[in-house]
Amino acid sequence: MSTLRIVVRRLLAEPAFTAIAALTFSIGIGANLVVFTVVNTILLQQLPVPDSERLVILGHEPAGELHRPGQPQRVDAARVTASFFDVVQTLAQLGRTIQAEDERPDAPAVVLLSDEL
C-alpha cells in the first residue's frame, strides 16, 4: 500500500508527466482496439455465406504489372468445382453454373463471367 501512495504522490507532483503518460496510454489502448477490430472483422469472422470454412482461394499475382490504356488487362479468375455454387448458395443470373459433367478431363472449358467484368 505504501508503494501505491508513493506513485500517487509522484504523479500529483508532476502533472505534465501524468498528463503525457495518460495520453500515451489512451492512444495505445485506442490503437490496440482499432487493430483488433480490423483483424477480427477481416480475418477472424466467417464470411456471410453458409459453410464458409470450406472455401479456399489460392492465387498468385506477378509484381510490377500496371494497366495501360489500349493494352490487355489482367482479370481476376478462380478455378472452382461444381460444388462451389452449392456452397455459396448462388445461382447464375443468366445461363448456368458449372455442372459435374464439366469437371471431366475431356469436357470443353466453361467460363462464368461476373457482372463486374
pLDDT of residue 67: 63
Residues 2-46: tens digit of each pLDDT: 899 998 898 899 999 999 999 999 999 999 999 999 998 888 877
Nearest to 47 by CA among 91, 111, 93, 90: 90
pLDDT surpasses 60 at 65: no
The rounded distance, in Å, linking the Cα atoms of 23 and 26 is: 5
DSSP designation for 85: H
- In terms of phi and psi (left: phi > 0; alpha: psi -120 to 50; beta: otherwise), the region of 71 is beta
CA distance linking residue 112 with residue 55, whole number of Å: 18
Confidence band, pLDDT 50/70/90 cuts, at residue 73: confident
Q: What is the pLDDT, as a whole number, of residue 80?
A: 84
CA distance 47 to 41: 10
Domain boundaries of the chain, sorted by first residue: 2-44, 50-117
In this predicted model, what pLDDT tens digit does every residue of 78-107 receive, in sequence order? Answer: 788 888 888 778 888 888 888 889 888 899
